[in-house]
A and B are shown apart, each in its own frame.
Chain A
């Protein structure tokens, strides 16, 4: 897939094979609707159940798991937000993830631009050094990473997490953005240089603005990845007041999962689902193309 066109038109309608005449195709036509419906229900039901339960009292959750709440308990949410500190965790997540996304975009677009536009000794090696990082799960080098961060005095700090997130996001972003910059016309840059524009001018006034669709796609991709990260903060961020949403939620569930406050937990769960759901529904086309584009390339 051509990354320059990622945001372009929605996928064209799939070939609609002309009216099927065989018995097989008629049976398929009937059952296909059934199968896709069942899977859709299996995806939706647990989520709906969680959201509905977050409005119920504990007794209601156990007595009638399938009905609408008899009384809508909005207080579950305020309890989760303040007493379970979901609010604080949310704030921490926003800072770390926004910082990580912006920094990784900045670093990766600099590298990708150089790799796409300039040939110099070692440029291919450099490309593989960056892209090679995609093949390995991050946790393999977890132990040394912990000590690198510790030696820099960055354990339990926003800055430490932001730097680690940003650098670990670089492999995929460099890969994606290099391909993107390669599709942009060289002539435009050369014309600008002839007209007396500096290399920096070309980068900031022409190439980066043109690359905006690619930057948006990769930004969304990285945002979701970092928002969902669990292992890195678990190791590098052990101070409870600095917990991110994922950590905080898992921690509440593990330590008081079978404790009495079920409704509060569901409310916490809903709080962490809803913003993602809202962003997803607003941008679902860009998100699904952005996330799958890397694999189709």
Chain B
């Protein structure tokens, strides 16, 4: 009986575990030794150079610019997206839902199912300075002065890309938060109303604490997301990463080093550094947002 069980378990696990080890675990493990080599190009010839790549990285100004952008996005994007999503969720749920709340949720969520590449190409047209939708709209309502180069100008490029991330991201979290809000028993709201709580108060004192767990998960998702942003920057920005590294992010810098310059050792060192940063940030997010879990 027991023998049969173990043979069954083993035969089910063998192939999935083997494939997972080859394509997921082994690349992560190999990234570490490669990060300590000077491997360049496709020759098999390389040397271990200790922490050489990390020293170079420490003095690499582009890396610091990219890291600064990532950290900036990491703080600002979650704040903007979560605030907007909470706001819209509360609005959609207000008094049992504004008319057409279901329709709005369907519309809001749609960008989440679009390919990030499609979103990128679409917004490239929107930002296009001469014939794009955005400048066309601004000129149509008489705000010619506000028309910009958007992606072509270092001052507005990163902000423009952020706007696209927000545009595509809010719907997902609206659906997430409204689902969490729907699980709150309505008696609580009635009690709050009897106690004289207004709409703002019952949101701050009741809704938010009760869905805090979900908000925390949303924040953690976005920390992971904000370290990536590869596809949008690659497709939307000039260069990509430009103008003048104004939109450079770590994932793009790593990609360029590896697959444009062939500096595999150096790119791996960037990957390992990022791995460490990601670990710290994920732990930090959970620590910072930890609160007593409220049961209801």
Contacts and interface: CB of A to CB of B under 8 A. Distances in A.
Interface of A: 1, 11-20, 22, 24-25, 28-29, 32-33, 35-36, 39-40, 42-47, 49-50, 53, 61-62, 65-66, 107-108, 110-111, 113-114, 118, 120, 126, 129-130, 133, 135-137, 139-149, 163-164, 166-168, 170-171, 199-200, 203, 224, 227-228, 230-231, 234-235, 245-247, 249-250, 253-254, 257-258, 262, 265-266, 269, 272-273, 276-277, 279-281, 284, 287-289, 291-292, 295-296
Contacts of A141: 27-28, 30-31, 271
Contact of B271 (A15, A142, A231, A247): A142
Interface string B272-285: 10110011001000
B108 A129 contact: no
B95 A144 contact: no
A136 B274 CA distance: 10
Contact of B117 (A13, A144, A164, A230): A230
Contacts of A32: 91-92, 94, 98
A14 B97 contact: yes
A22 B199 contact: yes
Closest 4 pairs between A and B when the two form their complex, measured CB to CB? A16-B96, A15-B186, A141-B27, A246-B117
A50 B121 CA distance: 10
Contact of A17 (B28, B96, B105, B227): B96
A111 B179 contact: no
Contacts of B92: 32, 36
Contact of B31 (A140, A149, A168, A277): A140
B170 A39 contact: yes
A247 B274 CA distance: 25
B227 A137 contact: yes
Given A110-B12, A146-B259, 14 more contacts: A1-B179, A17-B190, A20-B95, A24-B198, A24-B199, A111-B16, A114-B13, A133-B24, A140-B28, A141-B271, A167-B19, A170-B24, A280-B113, A288-B105
A139 B255 contact: yes
Nearest to A220: B113
A133 B224 CA distance: 12
Contacts of A42: 167
A164 to B, nearest CB: 6
Given A140-B28, A230-B117, A47 B264 contact: no
Contacts of A272: 115, 118
Contacts of B5: 118, 199
Contacts of A108: 16
A118 B2 CA distance: 11
B264 to A, nearest CB: 5
Interface in B2-60: 4-6, 8-9, 12-13, 15-17, 19-20, 22-31, 34
Interface stretch (B61-69, B73-81, B123-131, B154-162): B123-131
